[in-house]
Structure 1
Amino acid sequence: MTISKLTSGTCAVALCVAAGGTQAETLDMQAYVPQTLPVLGTAGVDLAERVGRLTGGEIEIVYHDPGALVPTNEILDAVSTGAIAAGWYTPGLAEGVIPAAPLFTAFPFGPDAVEYTAWWYQGGGKELWAELSAPFGIHTELCTMLAPEASGWFAEPIESPDDLAGLKMRIFGLGASVLEKLGAQAQSMGVGDTVTGLNLGTLDAAEISFPALDLQLGMQEHASHYYFPGWHQQSSLITFIVNQDVWDGMDDSHRAAIQEVCAANVALTIAEGESIQLAPLAQLEAEGVTVHQWNDEMLAAFRGGWDEVLAERTAADADFARVWDSITTFRADYATWADLGYLD
């Protein structure tokens, strides 16, 4: 069984002695976000702690902050080859090798967390991702859902689509392609470089996350216009990935513990993400931030840009088209149920 030997702490190798005298398997988990970030990182820490308790210490998942073992853009490859056992990951990071991957993280004008998880668990999403990622030798468990993100922080107000021309903005995922259609210069970079860019004026805007996280990062010190809704990421999926040989070599009870903790994490993070935003938002406003909502003209422009991006992506990649067909078919059926079952 292939298990990483890059562990930290008291265990020099991957097999250590648990409290009860049995051998403990240590799974090094390289994360794409720091463990201190609310929901995004803390849910990974919770995963490790609860799996340890449920297995009586027989499975120890060690959360490694970004870059500790491998760079973020190498997590998939490192888990695939067995260089590390596991990753705290979002599928969209694999876009370079799986063009449809962003559809398994977030996409413009996408579903809320309930609808997205329904597609993942019951609408074929999980099976499609397993198929597309199978060549890379990984097993995936959906393990966290994120609340809607803000649309971004802007140095100046945006009054019309014309204001986006030449705008330099840090943004993740398919939303970046949409902004480029509207004349902006979308850039991908870490939080530290983003803050530096805003301070130096080499960036005009930046999308990071939701209010609780943006406040923790101090984004209000670098820009003062905060826009909603996050049309580009209405909800987002975070996953626990593990080398397939490692997964197959685990006891059934150990695999079940990870699956049950991840399923619980999904429910808990939906609740947490929805409940922790108002106080941080009020604090941001108290510190001088102006909160805006996009007008209908802007939302129509974003949707038009997304339609262009979508047409290009579905034409360019058969798997992207197939996943998109799965999503749209499920959403059409879900809309019928939602109209009947829920109050407006």
Structure 2
Amino acid sequence: MKNKVIAVSLAATMATGGAAQAQEVFEMTSAFSRNLPILGTAGVDFVDKINGISRDVEFEHFDPGELVPTLEALDAVSSGSVDAAYTTSGYWQGKITAASLFAAVPFGPEAGEFLAWMLYDDGADLMQRMYDENSYNVKVMPCGVIAPETSGWFKTEIKSLEDLEGLNMRFFGLGAEVMQRLGVSTSLLAAGDIFPALERGAIDATEFSMPLIDQRLGFYNIASNNYFPGWHQPATLFELLINKDRWEDLDEFAQNQIEVACLANITTNLAEGEAKNYAAMVTNVEENGVTIRQWPDEMLEAFESSWNEVAAELAAEDEYFAEVWADLQEFRAGYKIWSENIYLKRPR
């Protein structure tokens, strides 16, 4: 998926004339319920976009569990039991070591830089190769992105690394590897399972997503200390997976329409997250009793140091992780002269 896709966008959106043809129908499972703002609405919005511009394909949206559970979507799409999935590759970290590098990288690129690597450098090609080389029968494309998440919800104030030791915490992706190194026991729970786990004490703390999303899930009722910044997910990328046999049966025009709809979805997904979270933070503080806290510099330095150790170990253990990590680092090294000079630097 390169910028050639942009060149066909006008053609894709103008192709509404001519004889009516039978549509290819794709049943699409989403990793997130349609009732979740930003995360859930992104899958629904993609379906609305593609169905609004195409007479060749039609997508049907299904919430997690209606077709398959969230964590089974990759296998289901690969086997063809489900046609497509709107999800994030971080859920496959237990299956593919490099998967989370295409989802969220601790202390890594923010949304603009992440998209630059994915769409105009090697990211998207490496992502497809990852699935191909692990024998997954899927076509993948970037289809959404959000700005940083919160760093987590805790029942008590965390004043030092010692306060983290022994906690049970829901955590996602590569950041979970960092927390484990610091003495936290982590588990990956789907959205609907987190609040009950907090309520019954199975976990002591959680991270999940942005303030508005976490507010909808009610974490503040049990864990009212909300920590920032989201060092573990400076940006989170979402993917559209399509069964490769179904994908290859489509003509190039229909394929381009899907890619164009994903590019448009990236834009609205990012904008929605940026637009709606500040009001949720105000409500959390003024009405829900939340205390917004910032990690002190010494703890952020400890998180980053631990992440660097984790990344080095994963690169040593897994050849493909090492290749992707090196490619991303090379891109970031070049990007640095731009980012350090063009953006205003605001004190924390």
**3-state SS of paired residue (2:332):** helix
What's the counterpart of residue 233 of structure 1?
233
Match of 1:339 in 2: 340
Residue deviations 1:174-224 (CA, integer Å, cap 9, x gap): 111111111111122233432123222332111011111111112211211
Q: Which SS does the other structure have where 1:63 is aligned?
A: strand
Deviation at 1:250, TM superposition (A): 1.0
Aligned residue type for 1:342: Y
Q: Tell me which residue corresponds to 1:139.
A: 139
Q: 1:207: which partner in 2?
A: 207
Match runs of 1:49-128 below 5 Å: 49-56=48-55, 58-128=56-126
CA distance in 2, matches of 1:198, 1:130: 36
Opposite residue 274 of structure 2, the aligned amino acid is E
Contact 2:181 2:306 in 1 (8 A): yes
Kindly tell me: are residues 183 and 96 of structure 1, through their superposed partners in 2, closer, same or farther at Cα, counting changes over 3 Å?
A: closer
Task: Give 1:258 deviation, angstroms.
Answer: 0.9
Give per-residue Cα distances to partners, 1:261-306, cap 9 Å, x unaligned.
1111112222221121110000000121000000011101111211
Match of 1:278 in 2: 278
Deviation at 1:94, TM superposition (A): 2.1
The secondary structure found in structure 2 opposite 1:265 is helix
Matched with 1:26 is 25
What is the deviation of 1:87? 0.8
Residue 8 of structure 1 aligns with which residue? none
The normalised TM-score by structure 2 is 0.90
Structure 2 CA distance, aligned partners of 1:97 and 1:191?
20
1:214-253 aligned within 5 A? 214-253=214-253
Counterpart of 1:122, as a letter, is: Y
Q: Which amino acid counterpart does residue 307 of structure 1 have in structure 2? A: N
- Answer with 90-99 or 212-221: which moved more: 90-99
Letter in 2 for 1:301: A
Gaps of 5+ in 1: 1-19
Q: Which residue is 1:10 aligned to?
A: none
How far residue 91 of structure 1 moved from its aligned partner, in angstroms, is 1.2
The TM-score, its normalising length taken from structure 1, stands at: 0.91
How far apart, in 2, do the equivalents of 1:324 and 1:314 lie?
7
1:160 maps onto 2:160 in alignment = yes
Aligned to 1:150: 150
2:24·2:58 contact (CA, 8 Å) conserved in 1?
yes
Is the contact between residue 212 and residue 277 of structure 2 (CA under 8 Å) also seen in structure 1?
yes
Paired letter, 1:263: L
Aligned length: 324
Q: 2:12: which partner in 1?
A: none
Give the alignment's Cα RMSD to 1 decimal.
Answer: 1.4
Letter of the 2:343 counterpart: Y
- Aligned counterpart, 1:327: 328
Q: 2-side partners of 1:97 and 1:207: how far apart?
A: 22
- Tell me the equivalent position of 2:291: 290
The whole-number CA distance in structure 1 between the counterparts of 2:105 and 2:176 is 10
Structure 2 Cα separation of the partners of residues 149 and 74 of structure 1? 24
The one-letter code of the counterpart of 1:112 is: E
Offset of 1:132 from its aligned partner? 1.2
How far 1:339 sits from its partner (Å)?
Answer: 2.5
Does the C-alpha gap of structure 1 residues 247 and 295 become closer, same or farther in structure 2, counting only changes over 3 Å?
A: same
Residue equivalent to 1:306: 307
- Structure 2: tracts of 5 or more residues without a match: 1-18
C-alpha distance in 1 between matches for 2:213 and 2:191: 12
Per the alignment, in what secondary structure is the counterpart of residue 23 of structure 2? Answer: strand
Deviation at 1:21, TM superposition (A): 5.3
Match of 1:100, as an amino acid?
A
